[in-house]
Homo-oligomer: A and B are copies of this chain.
Amino acid sequence: MTIEIADIKVRPEARDAFCETIARAARTVLAKAGGYRRHQILACHETPGRFVLIVEWDSLEAHTVGFRQSPAFAEWRAMIGPFFERAPHVEHFNPVADS
């Protein structure tokens, strides 16, 4: 199991539309990807326009190969990309054992 954390900054005037659009894109595109388990979309309290997307995948490759190299990724980015102030920063994590 791998957890993707994407750090996203959205243009200030586009915040509400981004929330509606990423919620819809997650339901209709992301959640149908192979190896997808669940996601959370979080809005930052301290920095308006900052969001974090957390996605749990079966494996690192389910995200980096299965999803990213599929036509669904282009569809996902076409939906949410126009709201970005800069390119998202994406990292992958593994749970620390016994934590």
Instruction: Report yes or no: A45 in contact with B5, Cβ–Cβ below 8 A.
Output: no
Query: Chain A contact residues (Cβ within 8 angstroms of B): what range?
Result: 20 to 34
Instruction: Report yes or no: A22 in contact with B92, Cβ–Cβ below 8 A.
Output: no
Instruction: Report yes or no: A45 in contact with B96, Cβ–Cβ below 8 A.
Output: no
Task: Give chain A's interface secondary structure class.
Answer: strand
Q: Spell out A's residues near B (CB within 8 Å).
A: 2-3, 5, 19, 22-23, 26, 39-47, 50-52, 54, 60, 91-99
15 contacts between A and B (CB under 8 A): A3-B42, A5-B42, A5-B52, A23-B96, A23-B98, A39-B99, A40-B95, A40-B99, A41-B96, A42-B93, A42-B94, A43-B93, A45-B92, A52-B93, A54-B54
